[in-house]
């Protein structure tokens, strides 16, 4: 089912598999229509299925990634790229090592930088030089974070260093040996970087995301719920499975 909530187009889909396929189709169409597309990419468990679909499409010769450029939303700080929990490692495992993207076209904030201030500036400049993001893929944290823009008193604009919320550290501890190993900081694109994207697609699945999806779509726009700012963007598509869309369904019945 497709509905419109304010400016946002929401697809209430049956399953995670359907979210993954639809998101992959959106990315592939973007790349086909504009081979030199600049893609903004997300990590986390949510987009794993979408990346699998994109790899399958590439293997079937349905999409060519040779001219795209990519910018990832975020990276832990500090972290080495070969650490299996780094987002650099994740991207390589889930997508980049399986497709024909050029190495020099991949951008991920460097979590091993010795000067994080410069790293943020360089990242913003690289995005600007690339002409901005054509299609930004987003997941959402249980607290409404996008990238690592945590609930805050104000919206951060450009790429910046973030102190991770206790809840985010706890949620992400499942990927690490223990909670104490989760880095306390991250480098993240800011809200301006994300809002400057021409198109945005946000994916969410599972019951743990039901409350935050309702707040994001029906609540007031506030930096306390960072994803709510997407209500102000002109081209956002949200893909939800049954569980993540449960509260939205209750609004339309």
Q: Which of 15, 32, 45, 170 binds ligand GLP (CB under 6 A)?
A: 45
Q: Check binding of 46 to ligand GLP (CB under 6 A).
A: yes
Residue 83 is a catalytic residue: no
Q: Check binding of 43 to ligand GLP (CB under 6 A).
A: yes
Q: Which of 74, 119, 156, 241 binds ligand GLP (CB under 6 A)?
A: 74
Q: Check binding of 170 to ligand GLP (CB under 6 A).
A: no
CB of 45 to ligand GLP, least distance (A): 4
Q: Check binding of 109 to ligand GLP (CB under 6 A).
A: no
What number of other Cβ atoms are within 10 A of residue 23's Cβ? Answer: 24
Task: Using the minimum distance from each CB to ligand GLP, give the nearer residue, 30 or 46.
Answer: 46
Q: Check binding of 187 to ligand GLP (CB under 6 A).
A: no
Give the per-residue SS3 of 63-96. CCCCCCEEEECEEEECCCCCCCCCHHHHHHHHCH
Of residues 5 through 34, those in contact with ligand GLP by CB under 6 A are none
CA–CA separation, 137 and 245 (whole Å): 18
Task: Using the minimum distance from each CB to ligand GLP, give the nearer residue, 28 or 194.
Answer: 194
CB of 78 to ligand GLP, least distance (A): 16
- Find the part of the chain contacting ligand GLP (CB under 6 A) among 9-17, 38-46, 122-130, 242-250: 38-46
CB of 41 to ligand GLP, least distance (A): 10
Q: Compute φ and ψ for 90, nearest 5 degrees.
A: -55, -50
Spatial contact of 96 and 69, defined as CB atoms under 8 Å apart: no
Task: Using the minimum distance from each CB to ligand GLP, give the nearer residue, 139 or 190.
Answer: 139
Catalytic one of 150, 156, 193, 241? 150
Active-site amino acid positions: 74, 143, 145, 150
**Site residues, ligand GLP (CB under 6 A):** 42-46, 73-74, 139-141, 147-148, 168, 172
């Amino acid at each position: 089912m497709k509905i419109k909530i304010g400016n946002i187009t929401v697809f209430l889909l049956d399953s995670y598999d359907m979210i993954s396929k639809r998101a992959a189709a959106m990315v592939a169409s973007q790349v086909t229509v504009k081979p030199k597309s600049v893609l903004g990419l997300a990590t986390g468990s949510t987009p794993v299925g979408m990346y699998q679909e994109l790899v399958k499409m590439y293997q079937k010769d349905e999409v060519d990634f040779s001219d795209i450029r990519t910018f990832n939303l975020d990276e832990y700080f500090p972290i080495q790229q070969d650490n299996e929990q780094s987002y650099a490692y994740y991207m390589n495992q889930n997508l980049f090592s399986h497709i024909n993207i050029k190495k020099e076209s991949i951008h991920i904030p460097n979590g091993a930088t010795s000067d994080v201030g410069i790293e943020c500036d360089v990242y913003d400049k690289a995005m600007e030089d690339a002409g901005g993001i054509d299609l930004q893929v987003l997941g959402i944290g249980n607290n409404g974070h996008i990238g690592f823009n945590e609930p805050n008193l104000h919206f951060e604009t450009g790429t910046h260093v973030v102190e991770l919320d206790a809840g985010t550290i706890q949620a992400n501890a499942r990927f690490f040996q223990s909670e104490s190993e989760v880095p306390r900081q991250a480098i993240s694109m800011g809200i301006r970087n994300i809002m400057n994207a021409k198109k945005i697609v946000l994916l969410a699945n599972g019951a743990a995301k039901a409350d935050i999806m309702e707040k994001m779509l029906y609540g007031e726009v506030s930096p306390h719920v960072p994803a709510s700012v997407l209500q102000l963007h002109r081209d956002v598509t949200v893909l939800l499975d049954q569980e993540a869309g449960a509260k939205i369904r209750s609004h339309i019945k």
